[in-house]
Amino acid sequence: MVFTHADFDGHEQVLFIADRASGLRAIIALHDTRLGPAFGGCRMWPYADEGTALADALRLARGMTYKAAICGLPYGGGKTVIIGDPGRKTPALLHALARVVEQLGGRYIIADDVGTSLDDLAVMRAVTRHTAAATTAASAPLAVTAHGVLAAIRAAIAHRLGRPELAGLTIAVQGLGNVGLPLCRALHAAGARLVVCDPLPARTELAQAELGAVVVPPAAIYDQPADLFAPCALGGILDEPTIARLRTGLVCGGANNQLASPADAARLAARGILYVPDYLANAGGVIDFHQEQIDDRPDAVLAAVARIGPLTAELLAEATRSGRTPLEVADRLVAARLAAAGPA
């Protein structure tokens, strides 16, 4: 994979990190800190090559900037990716990464993500002050991302179908991990019927037994008739072929970077499919972090995350008034807020 200068445009700083003693190979991408320090998780994954890892870091860092800006929060976007097997993490590796975070002097606040945990952040705090999950509420983690996605789904259903309740609706959920499974539990409690997929049989068996979900192969999830499709796994899954297969009028889920390209928002609109921008629907994590600095009681955190519902309703109403896609409206709002903060 070859990267040109354009791939880094808009990113303030990209650090490539290698520590021979611990075996650490990582990338930290800081996208934009005009609104405040960059906030973003640390993902550890056995990437095929450094180019793939870099692409992930750049996209995810940009997404974090957009999440904070769309929610009016005083943070920028950053991301760390560690190239390696999460099962082989060591305190030495985490400390080596934390030293780099500390050297950034507060420009970046590191959080957990795929392949890392709250326990890992606790190990890093021996070296750096600049981590998330240092509050009382973080010791009993809440499913904040799923809570925010549920609020966005309710707003999208009310906008498109004119009904406040989810009972009797069919929702197809792609991925049953830390976001998809708690989301399914909340949807089931609200009376929705579930169609799910996940590459791990243990997860689908649990959803089937506990929630009465219909299980389909991962490749077939796009073909399922549903009132709403909720991508909660990998990014880049909505492209020309998969959009053509969708049998739903709504897309709203927890996965990052769901669109393979910006043109796919127009493709969804051309098919009459309403798409809630992923960086709004899944912004629960950064809202959680901000709220915990003010009031870290779990009920206060969840109430703050629930703001995603009214924000989604306002965004969809403006998209209807203006004749633009929800993504166009959201992107313009983010651009305006960043511009108001000063030059890049």
Q: What residues act catalytically?
A: 79
Q: Are 169 and 157 in contact (CB under 8 A)?
A: yes
| CA neighbor of 290 nearest in space, from 64, 50, 113 | 64
Q: Which residues contact 130 (CB under 8 A, 6 or more apart)?
A: 37, 101, 102, 104, 106, 108, 109, 110
Spatial distance between the Cα atoms of 302 and 291, rounded to a whole number of angstroms: 9
Q: Are 312 and 134 in contact (CB under 8 A)?
A: no
Distance of CA 57 to the CA centre of its chain: 13
| CA neighbor of 182 nearest in space, from 210, 224, 157 | 210
